[in-house]
Amino acid sequence: MLIIDKDACIGCGLCEDNCPFDAIAVVDGKAEVNDNCTLCGSCIEHCEVEALSIPRDESGAIDLSAWSGVWVYAEYRQGKLAQVSRELLGIGRTLADKRDTKLSAVLLCADAADVPQQLIAAGADQVYVVVDPALENFNDDSYGAALEDLARKYKPEVILAGATAIGRSFIPRVATSLNTGLTADCTQLAIGDDGHLHQTRPAFGGNIMATIMCPNHRPQMSTVRPMVFQAPEPDGSRTGEIIVEAIAADRLASRTRVVETVLTEGEQLNLAEAEVVIAGGRGLENEEGFSLVESLADVLGGAVGASRAAVDNGWITYPHQVGQTGKTVASKLYVACGISGAIQHVIGMKSSETIVAINRDQNAPIFDVADYCVVGDIFTLLPPLVDKLKERSGKE
Amino acid sequence: MNIVVCIKQVPDAKDVRLDPETNTLSREGVKSVINPYDRHALEEGVRLKEEYGGTVTVISMGPPQAQAILTEAISCGADEAFLVSDRAFAGADTLATTYTLAQAVAKAGKPDLVLCGKQATDGDTAQVGPGLAVRLDMPFVTCVKKVRTIAKDVLTLERMMDDGYDVLEVDLPALLTVVKEINTPRFPSLRGMRRARDYQITSLTAEDIGADSSRLGLGGSPTQVVSVFPPEKKGDRTMIEGSVAEQVDKLAEILFDSAFGA
């Protein structure tokens, strides 16, 4: 629990102001904690007189020195290596170099083709490959058991995976089986001076960033959103070691079976790879309002994006959602119309080259990430803007 | 069929925002609601019960005020409700949470099917469903958008993938996490509300679920939050000001150049 040193406490109230959960308050000049406390540590961070602490029992710590090497799970489905796996080899390289250790990729598949070479070209020193017909289609049981068994055998200190449908499904299984920590949707990764992996992700309703560590357990595991890190240019001259592993048949047996895979890539890929994205949020007020965004996208030849609010309200379907629980885009132009800019949304679009935000609330956080800010009414601005652009593209 | 639905109380996302002056979360007027994805899990549980028979038990781990969402779940068709609440749970990360929930699920009965929302909107980790399945030694499928059929202890369902969807068969007992596309949750019925009014929620403490205290809460959590800070702001930005006509002119220029320019 949270310990308050009443002698050190000066009753300044910084803890109260910074508690996201209304769990600490100054009563009679001293801080007092209540049942709402989640032990998030925000108050400790802000206390200037070190009056607050959360004692930890470190007795369960394992021998950390037995674990070394950085692993990247190489996601391979339908004959394609996921782009996020290349991106992870980029950041993985940085982490491995800092730790002075090897960077390895893990490939689970029914047919490896030339993927191990691709992974080496992208920065891996080693590739662990499991080829088995049981791995033909992604399923949590077989993939989870395979990665778990490899991790137990080779003891990597870090395992990174894409925060994709596949990664977000079976990586939590692996972490639970290995009895270790897992941090979802990291946006920054670094090795601290303490040698631990510092994993940063949005937290507490998404308006605060939190740095999370897993100091006494190994491996340290993270999932990372696509398009957060840069993929290195492939270097065909790199050499590396390919280690072929077999996993026991009973471990690959699955209680789930894929009967059919239906690919509906079109719409979704367009958004993730679109050069121009016009996105709308709560400020559009209704489906009719949202159609303004669609007409602007139309005239600019762009894809339509949306905040979670717009999707939740049913103005547009989920494949258009941009943000932490939707797509990540890195477009040339991103226009945010009536989107307040909660960090969950911002994470999905902040890598865009030029960001234009239109919002009637001048304090909307979207303006903090925008290059061009328009404080104004969408319904007044958008119709003449669409007309103007139509006129212009008609001329040229 | 014995169906267990795990639900979580979360702050209503649309109320949460950052105070621009102090850079802290403004908590004024923030309501607590059932995690939106969990509503769909509950609805699916009630629908499956209506079609295949059985009971729906809802379980929530949280502070005493999480009672409110359990009462709401009863009014929406759940049969039984358990609140798993103890100060010993504070600071639990997903690993400690799945341990706690698994102990509670075992206490509440032997489920044929466990349903969860795909993630909670406060943490957005999507880790509790799969982790809980491991603890219960059940197969699991995440992001289920449709349950097609249940026949002879085999479920056939559709799971969302990044590039489309997979059709899967799963052996029961199993755990599913669901997405919003799976159904449209119903409103509480009058009969349900009457039942909820008189229903006594069962409270379970760490002791009641026979938990090993070293695996609970902060102490049972391998991950630690070491710092929290506001998201960084972008440096240079241009305000487009003036009359509507002037703003439209400048905007048209910027959009046209960015979209079609060099």
- B151-207 pLDDT, tens digit per residue, is 989 999 999 998 889 999 999 999 999 998 899 999 999 999 999 999 999 999 999
Per-residue pLDDT of B205-258, as tens digits, reads 999 999 999 999 988 999 988 887 777 666 678 899 999 999 999 999 999 988
In angstroms, the CA B61 to CA B203 distance is: 10
Residues A48 and A71 in one domain: no
Contact A183 B64 (CB under 8 A): no
**Interface mutation vs chain A, best among B8, B12, B23, B25, most A CBs within 10 Å:** B25
> Is A128 in the same domain as A226?
yes
Give yes or no: residues A100 and A195 share one domain: yes
Please report the pLDDT score of residue B14 as a whole number: 56
In whole angstroms, what is the distance from residue A46 CA to residue B228 CA?
9
Q: Which of B228, B240, B256 sits opposite A41 (nearest CB)?
A: B228
Which of A53, A76, A95 terminates a domain? The answer is A53
**Which residue among A189, A220, A252 closes a domain?**
A252
* Predicted local distance difference test score (pLDDT) of residue A64: 87
CATH number of the domain that A327 lies in? 3.40.50.1220
Does the complex come out with an ipTM higher than 0.95? no
Look at residue A243 and give its three-state secondary structure.
strand
Task: Tell me what the pLDDT averaged over chain B comes to.
Answer: 90
Which residues of chain A make contact with B180, given a CB cutoff of 8 A? 312, 318
Q: Give me the pLDDT at residue A23, please.
A: 84
Quick one: closest CA in B to A344, which residue? B124
Position A171 in a domain? yes
Cβ A13 vs Cβ A26: under 8 Å = yes
Which CATH number covers residue B81?
Answer: 3.40.50.620
State whether A268 and B162 contact (CB < 8 Å): yes
B188 upstream amide cis, omega within 30 of 0: no
Q: CB-based contacts of A291: which residues, under 8 Å, 6+ apart?
A: none
> What tokens appear for B93 in the block?
């990360």
Chain A nearest CA to B203, separation (Å): 16
Which residues lie below 8 Å from residue A318, measured CB to CB, with a gap of 6+?
A311, A326, B179, B180, B181
- Distance, in Å, from the CA atom of A62 to the CA atom of A362, rounded to the nearest integer, reads 51
Boundary (domain end) residue, out of A204, A223, A252: A252
Would you tell me the crossing angle of helices A287-300 and A378-395 to the nearest 10 degrees?
Answer: 20
Closest residue in B to A168 (Cα) is: B126
Cβ of B256 and A389 within 8 Å? yes
Of B20, B90, B162, the CB nearest to A39: B90
Flag if A385 and B142 touch (Cβ within 8 Å): no
**A302 with A389, same domain?**
yes
Low-confidence ranges of chain A (pLDDT < 70): 56-61, 204-207, 265-270, 395-396
Q: Cβ contacts (< 8 Å) between B168 and chain A: which residues?
A: 139, 256-259
Indicate which of A83, A308, A374, A379 best probes the interface with B, i.e. most B CBs within 10 Å of its own CB.
A374
Q: What is the pLDDT of residue B193?
A: 95
Residue B99 included in any domain: yes
What CATH number is associated with residue A146?
3.40.50.620
Report CB contact under 8 Å: A368, B233.
yes
Whole-number CA gyration radius for chain B: 22
Residue A23: closest CA among A204, A208, A211, A214: A204
Tell me whether residues B17 and A365 touch, CB distance under 8 A. Answer: yes
| The total number of structural domains that make up chain A | 3
Q: How far is A335 from chain B (nearest CA, A)?
A: 8
Determine the pLDDT at residue A264. 75
- What is the rounded CA–CA span in Å between residue A123 and residue A95? 12
CB-based contact, B262 to chain A, within 8 Å: no
- Cβ B130–A172 below 8 Å, yes or no? yes
| Distances from the Cα of A366 to the Cα of A142, A319, A350, B233, B250, angstroms | 42, 21, 10, 10, 19
Residue that has been written with the tokens 């943000």 in this structure = A323
The answer to whether position B102 is within a domain reads yes
Domain that holds residue B35: 2-220
Full domain range(s) for residue A299 = 265-395
Q: What is the pLDDT of residue A56?
A: 67
Cβ separation A208–B90 shorter than 8 A: no
- B55 part of contact set with chain A, CB < 8 Å: no
Across the A/B interface, how many CB contacts are shorter than 8 Å? 304
CA angle B69, B73, B74 (to 5 degrees): 120
For residue A19, the model assigns a pLDDT of 81
For chain B, what is the domain count?
A: 1
Q: Does B213 touch chain A (CB under 8 A)?
A: no
For B189-224, give one letter per residue: b (16+ CB within 10 A) or e: eeebeebbeebebbebebebbebeeebbbbbbbbbb
Peptide bond into B173 cis (omega under 30): yes
What pLDDT does A324 receive? 79
Q: Is residue B235 part of a domain?
A: no
Q: What percent of chain B has pLDDT over 70?
A: 92
Q: Are A163 and B192 in contact (CB under 8 A)?
A: no
Of B11, B166, B217, the CB nearest to A261: B166
Alpha helices in chain A (DSSP H): 14-18, 42-46, 83-99, 115-121, 140-154, 165-177, 249-252, 265-273, 287-300, 308-312, 343-347, 378-395
B260 inside 8 A of chain A by CB: yes
**Contact status, residue A352 vs residue A332, Cβ threshold 8 Å:** yes
User: Residues B102-119: pLDDT tens digits?
Assistant: 999 999 889 999 999 999
Residue numbers in B near A173 (CB within 8 A): 130-131, 133-134, 140
| Beta carbons of A212 and B245 less than 8 Å apart | no
Q: Helices marked H in A233-314 — which ranges?
A: 249-252, 265-273, 287-300, 308-312
Q: Are residues A244 and A269 in the same domain?
A: no
pLDDT of residue A275: 87
Does A275 lie in the same domain as A341? yes
Residue B201 covered by a domain: yes
* Angle at alpha carbon of residue A342, lines to A337 and A348, rounded to 5°: 75
Which helix (H) or strand (E) covers residue B70, if one does?
A: helix B67-75
